[in-house]
C-alpha cells in the first residue's frame, strides 16, 4: 500500500522535474519474476526511482551496506526490500567482504517471483559512459539457477539510462529496455566452468547496456562528444535538437560517439584537428557568453530590430504573470538548490536531492498560500483546485520568462558588443569544422 502510494508521488515528481522521459523497448518489459533488472548508474537515487516508476510490479533493490548503519533507516530500507551488499569500503581494512547473506536474501526474494534491481557498476558517477561492471549480478543469477532442480525461468532485463544532463532540472532522459537474457541458457556452461560462464554473462550484460548509451574512455573524450553533439544538432541536423526531439537527439549522440571512436582509430589526424577546432569554437563563444545558435544562418539573417522588438513585446505581455509566478513559486523552487549546496554532497546527488525535496516544498508552500487566501476570502473547493493549477502554470511561465530574459541579454550583447572581427573568426571556425565533418563522413563510409 505505502509502496504504491509512494510510487504515484514519485511519478508526479518525475513528471515535473524532467522535461521529458522517453521510453523505448516497452515490448521487452516483464511484469512478473523471478527477474533481475540491470542498469547503468549515472544519477544516484534518481535512477532507481525512474525504473521503479516504469514497472508495474514492486521492486527490490541491492543497496550499499553503509546505508544500513543507522538501525532506524535500516528498518525503513528493509521494508522496501532493499538488500545490503558489502563492498571493500564497507568492511574493515584487510577484511574480505562476505555477501553470502546478501545472496541468500536475493534467492528468497526471487523464490517469491520477485524483481530485483541491480546497478552492476557498483557505484554512481556523473558521466555518460558505462563503467566496467562487476560480476556480482552474474554470480547471483547463475548460482540461484543452479540451486533449483527445475528451470527457474529467471531472466535478466537490461535497461540503459541516457540523460541529456543528469544533474539539471528540466532535462531529458532516454530509457531503453533491452531484450531479456534467459539465465537458463548458461546453466550447462556454468556446471562445466563456473568462472568462464560468469565472465561470459557479465560481458553480455555489459554489451547490452553499452548498446544504447554513449561510450567514451575519459573525461576529455566526453567533453569532446558533448560539444560535437551540440555542434552537429545545431548546424547539421537541427531537427534532432534536444528540445525538439529528445529521443532522436540522444540517439544521434550515441551515433556520434561511435563515429568519433572509429575516426580516432582510422584517421587520428582528422580526429585531432576536429577536436582542437571544436574546443576552440566553444571556448570562443563561451568567452562572449553566447551559444552556437547565434552562428546559424537562420539567426544571422534575422533583422536585429525585429528580434529586439519581439523580445520587448513578449516581456511586456508576460510581465504580470512572471511576477505572480515568482511570488508563488520562487521559495519552493530555490529551497532544494539551497539545501543541496549546503549539504556538500557529491554532484551525483544534485538531481535526486532537488527532486525529492521539491516533492515536499511545493505542496507545503502552495498549502500555506491557499491558507492565507482562505483567511481573507471564502474559497470553494473547485476554486482551490483552480488556484493550484494557476500556481503551476504561472511557475512554468516564470521559468520560461527568466530563460528568455537571459537569452535576450545574449542577443543584445551579440548585436551591439561583439566585434565584427570576432564574429568573422568564429564563423570561419564553424565552416572549418563543417568541412571536417563532411571529410569524416566520407572517410567513414569507405
Specify the domain boundaries for CATH 3.40.1130.10 within the chain.
2-210
Gyration radius of the chain's alpha carbons: 26
- The answer to whether 411 and 315 are in contact (CB under 8 A) is no
Strand partners, 84: 63
Contacts 24+ apart (CB under 8 A), 80-85: 80/3, 81/109, 81/114, 83/109, 83/116, 85/136
Placement of cell 548460482 in the chain: 143
What are the distances in angstroms from CA 146 to CA 33, 34, 152, 183, 188? 17, 14, 9, 10, 9
Placement of cell 513578449 in the chain: 314
pLDDT for the residue numbered 96: 63
pLDDT for the residue numbered 415: 97
Closest C-alpha to 346, from 36, 31, 127: 127
pLDDT for the residue numbered 122: 85
- pLDDT tens series, the chain, 446 aa: 788 888 999 999 999 999 999 999 999 999 888 999 999 999 988 999 999 999 999 999 987 776 677 777 677 777 888 888 876 666 566 656 677 888 898 999 999 999 999 999 988 888 999 999 999 999 999 999 888 766 678 999 999 999 999 888 889 999 999 999 999 999 889 999 999 999 999 999 999 999 999 988 888 999 999 999 999 999 999 988 887 788 889 889 999 999 999 999 999 999 999 999 999 999 999 999 999 999 999 999 999 999 999 999 999 999 999 999 999 999 999 999 999 999 888 888 899 889 989 999 999 999 999 999 999 999 899 999 999 999 999 999 999 999 999 999 999 999 999 999 999 999 999 999 999 999 999 988 76
Alpha-carbon gap, residue 295 to 231, rounded angstroms: 11
**Cis amide leading into 34 (omega within 30):** yes
Characterize the bridge pairing of strands 172-177 and 20-24. parallel
Closest C-alpha to 43, from 115, 118, 128, 116: 128
203: number of Cβ within 10 Å: 13
Q: Per residue, what are the HEC states of the chain?
A: CHHHHHHHHHHHHHHHHCCEEEEECHHHCCCCCCEEEEECCCCCCHHHHHHHHHCCCCEEEEEEHHHHCCHHHHHHHHHCCEEEECCHHHCCCCCCCCCHHHHHHHHHHHHCCCEEEECCCCCCCCCCCCCCCCCHHHHHHHHHHHHCCCCCCCEEEEEEEEECCCCCCCCEEEEEECCCEEHHHHHHHHHHCHHHHHHHHHHHHHHHHHCCCCCCCCHHHHHHHHHHHHHHHHHCCHHHCCCCCHHHHHHHHHHHHHHHHHHHHHCHHHHHHHHHHHHHHHHHHHHCCCCHHHHCHHHHCCCHHHHHHHHHHHHHHHHHHHHHHHHHHHHHHHHHHHHHHHHCCCHHHHHHHHHHHHHHHHHHHHHHHHHHHHHHCCCCHHHHHHHHHHHHHHHHHHHHHHHHHHHHHHHHHHHHCCCHHHHHHHHHHHHHHHHHHHHHHHHHHC
pLDDT for the residue numbered 258: 92
Alpha-carbon gap, residue 411 to 274, rounded angstroms: 28
- The answer to whether 53 and 10 are in contact (CB under 8 A) is yes
- The answer to whether 190 and 68 are in contact (CB under 8 A) is no
pLDDT for the residue numbered 283: 97
Q: If one looks up domain 2-210 in CATH, what number appears?
A: 3.40.1130.10
pTM above 0.85, yes or no: yes
Alpha-carbon gap, residue 395 to 361, rounded angstroms: 14
Alpha-carbon gap, residue 275 to 263, rounded angstroms: 11
Give tens-digit pLDDT for 174-227. 999 999 999 999 988 999 999 999 999 999 999 999 999 998 888 899 999 999
Give tens-digit pLDDT for 75-90. 777 788 888 887 666 6
Amino acid at each position: 500500500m505505502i509502496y504504491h502510494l509512494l510510487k504515484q508521488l514519485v511519478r508526479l515528481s518525475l513528471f515535473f522535474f524532467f522535461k521529458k522521459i522517453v521510453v523505448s523497448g516497452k515490448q521487452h518489459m516483464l511484469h512478473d519474476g523471478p527477474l533481475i533488472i540491470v542498469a547503468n548508474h549515472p544519477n544516484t537515487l534518481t535512477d532507481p526511482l525512474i525504473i521503479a516508476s516504469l514497472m508495474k510490479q514492486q521492486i527490490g533493490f541491492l543497496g550499499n551496506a553503509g546505508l544500513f548503519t543507522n538501525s532506524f533507516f535500516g528498518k525503513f530500507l528493509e521494508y522496501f526490500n532493499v538488500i545490503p551488499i558489502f563492498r571493500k569500503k564497507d568492511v574493515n581494512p584487510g577484511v574480505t567482504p562476505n555477501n553470502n547473506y546478501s545472496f541468500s536474501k536475493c534467492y528468497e526474494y526471487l523464490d517469491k517471483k520477485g524483481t530485483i534491481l541491480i546497478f552492476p557498476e557498483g557505484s554512481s558517477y556523473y558521466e555518460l559512459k558505462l563503467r566496467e561492471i562487476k560480476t556480482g549480478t552474474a554470480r547471483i543469477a547463475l548460482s540461484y539457477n543452479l540451486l533449483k532442480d527445475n528451470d527457474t525461468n529467471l531472466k535478466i532485463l537490461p535497461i540503459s539510462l541516457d540523460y541529456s544532463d543528469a544533474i539539471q532540472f528540466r532535462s531529458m532522459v532516454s530509457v531503453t529496455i533491452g531484450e531479456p537474457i534467459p539465465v537458463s541458457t548458461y546453466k550447462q556452461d556454468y556446471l562445466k566452468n563456473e568462472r568462464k560462464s560468469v565472465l561470459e554473462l557479465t560481458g553480455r550484460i555489459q554489451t547490452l547496456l553499452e548498446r544504447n548509451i554513449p561510450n567514451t574512455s575519459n573525461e576529455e573524450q566526453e567533453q569532446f562528444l558533448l560539444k560535437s553533439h551540440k555542434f552537429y544538432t545545431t548546424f547539421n541536423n537541427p531537427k534532432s535538437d534536444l528540445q525538439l526531439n529528445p529521443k532522436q537527439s540522444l540517439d544521434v549522440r550515441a551515433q556520434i560517439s561511435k563515429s568519433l571512436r572509429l575516426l580516432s582509430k582510422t584517421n587520428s589526424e582528422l580526429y585531432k584537428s576536429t577536436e582542437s577546432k571544436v574546443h576552440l569554437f566553444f571556448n570562443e563563444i563561451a568567452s562572449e557568453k553566447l551559444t552556437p545558435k547565434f552562428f546559424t544562418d537562420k539567426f544571422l539573417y534575422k533583422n536585429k530590430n525585429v528580434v529586439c522588438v519581439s523580445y520587448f513585446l513578449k516581456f511586456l505581455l508576460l510581465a504580470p504573470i512572471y511576477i505572480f509566478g515568482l511570488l508563488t513559486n520562487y521559495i519552493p523552487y530555490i529551497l532544494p538548490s539551497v539545501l543541496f549546496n549546503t549539504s556538500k554532497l557529491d554532484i551525483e546527488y544534485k538531481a535526486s536531492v532537488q527532486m525529492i525535496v521539491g516533492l515536499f516544498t511545493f505542496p507545503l508552500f502552495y498549502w500555506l498560500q491557499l491558507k492565507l487566501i482562505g483567511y481573507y476570502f471564502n474559497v470553494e473547493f473547485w476554486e482551490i483546485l483552480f488556484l493550484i493549477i494557476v500556481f503551476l502554470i504561472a511557475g512554468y511561465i516564470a521559468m520560461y520568462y527568466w530563460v528568455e530574459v537571459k537569452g535576450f541579454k545574449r542577443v543584445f550583447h551579440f548585436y551591439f558588443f561583439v566585434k565584427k572581427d570576432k564574429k568573422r573568426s568564429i564563423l570561419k571556425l564553424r565552416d572549418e569544422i563543417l568541412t571536417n565533418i563532411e571529410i569524416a563522413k566520407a572517410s567513414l563510409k569507405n
